[in-house]
Amino acid sequence: MVRDYTLARQVLSDPRFSRSEATTAHAPRFAEVQPIPQSMMSMDGYDHARLRRIVAGAFSAQRIAATEPTVARLADEHLDRLAAAGPPADLIAGLAAPLPIAVLCGLLGVPLADAEVFGDSVEVLFDITSGPAEMSRRRLELVRYMTDLLARKTGSGDDDLLGMLIAARDRDGMTKQEMLAMALALLMAGYETTIGQIGMSVLTLLTRPDAHRALLDDPDSLPVVVEELLRLDSASPLSFPRVATEAVRLGDVDVRAGEAVIVSLMHGNRDEQVFAEPDLLRVNGRGPTHLAFGHGIHRCLGAPLARLQLHVVLGRLLTRFPDLRLADGPDAVLWKDGLATRGLARLMVEWQPVDRSPGEATRAPLPARARAR
């Protein structure tokens, strides 16, 4: 395991550390939770570049910017419901969980009516505790659903991500397995991690009053604060394994060909040789780029969409409920267990209710600097 920031960037970008080799039958195993060999996340070089190029357009700056009104509307709707019900409220069930699945459904082209069932099924992709039989059964259900949906969308001409995959099959010879693997890879990258990131970011702010107050006093600092929140509490604690294709000197260690290496993104993000006072949340920002979205050719393709959701949710949440605080009681915060990602199962919060029409305080646009770039 690599915990050093500089060595982490080396492993994540050095082609001698192969993702493809890590999916072979003889590769050292760390956990069963990792993409299948046909996934873009499991490929190197040309094969990876070919598949990434097919879906890159869905995450262009223009396309993500066009998504902002939808994300803002969804956030407003959830916040309206929280305000109407009154405190206390579970911010995970009421905001952090339903918003990303709705955004992802819109991006992929999944009917919103399927969002609840679809969301429950996606969690299996991160499950590290269920037995092999149960995991296989639940994964098969998800594959069947996606197979059926792709079949139903064939010929529809829909301008969504699944529509892109269908067009790529007809235009570029993308195989059925590659289509399914791509759809599941995008789910892995965009759903559970975003829920976890939203919940942990709110928790971090509520447990760091100075940073919370500084953000309220200067809303234009939101983009910088979001980067610090990503650095301090990444929903993805570890990279997927990579296997050395030849002997590599890594710091003081000789990694032999065939040995597996895992990067601790969390440790790298708190490397005191790179980030002075690494446990501090600095609202004025830092120089080095964090590793929350990885590094190199496998850097998270959906990073702009994740940032957009964090910007919108945090900006509107703190505008709507500036006195937001953790609810009393030992069960206010409950962490998820048994998953390969980090996140909260419950985050109970309170605020002082005020009389205002639904959504009144949340309709103002975010500061220009707070928009996703």
Q: Is the pLDDT of residue 55 over 60?
A: yes
Q: Side chain identity at 302, as an amino acid letter?
A: G
Confidence of residue 250 (pLDDT cuts 50, 70, 90): very high
| Domain annotation covers residue 120 | yes
pLDDT given for residue 366 in this prediction: 40
Distances (CA, A) of 220 to 23, 128, 206: 44, 39, 19
For the residues 68-83, what does the mean pLDDT come to? 96
Number of domains making up the chain: 1
| Domain annotation covers residue 208 | yes
pLDDT given for residue 373 in this prediction: 31
Exposure string of 53-88, with b = 16+ CB inside 10 Å and e = fewer, is ebbeebbeeeebeebbeebbebbbbbbbebbeeebb
Q: Side chain identity at 19, as an amino acid letter?
A: R
Confidence of residue 119 (pLDDT cuts 50, 70, 90): low
Cα separation, 169 vs 277, whole angstroms? 49
Confidence of residue 362 (pLDDT cuts 50, 70, 90): very low
pTM of the model: 0.88
Cα separation, 35 vs 240, whole angstroms? 9
Alpha helix (H) residue ranges in the chain: 5-13, 45-56, 61-85, 91, 98-108, 115-122, 132-153, 161-172, 176-190, 192-206, 209-217, 222-232, 265-269, 303-320
Cα separation, 134 vs 125, whole angstroms? 12
Is residue 37 within 8 A of residue 22, CB to CB? The reply is: no
Give the pLDDT confidence of 140-168 residue by residue, as tens digits: 878 888 888 888 888 777 778 888 888 88
Show the domain range for 187.
Answer: 36-41+48-238+290-370
For the residues 5-19, what does the mean pLDDT come to? 97
pLDDT given for residue 358 in this prediction: 47
Confidence of residue 135 (pLDDT cuts 50, 70, 90): low
**By mean pLDDT, which of 76-90, 171-185, 342-356 is the weakest?**
171-185
| Domain annotation covers residue 323 | yes
| Domain annotation covers residue 274 | no
| Domain annotation covers residue 244 | no
Give the pLDDT confidence of 300-346 residue by residue, as tens digits: 988 999 999 999 999 999 999 999 999 998 899 999 887 678 999 99
| Domain annotation covers residue 353 | yes
Percentage of the residues of the chain whose pLDDT score is greater than 90:
55
Q: What is the CATH number of the domain that holds 203?
A: 1.10.630.10
Kindly report the average pLDDT of the chain as a whole number: 86
Q: 32 by DSSP, 3-state: which?
A: coil
Handedness of CA 329, 198, 236, 115 (dihedral sign): positive
pLDDT given for residue 232 in this prediction: 95
| Domain annotation covers residue 283 | no
H or E, element range at 335: strand 333-335
Cα separation, 19 vs 305, whole angstroms? 24
Q: Which residues fall within 8 angstroms of residue 61, CB to CB, at 6 or more apart?
A: 304, 373
| Domain annotation covers residue 145 | yes
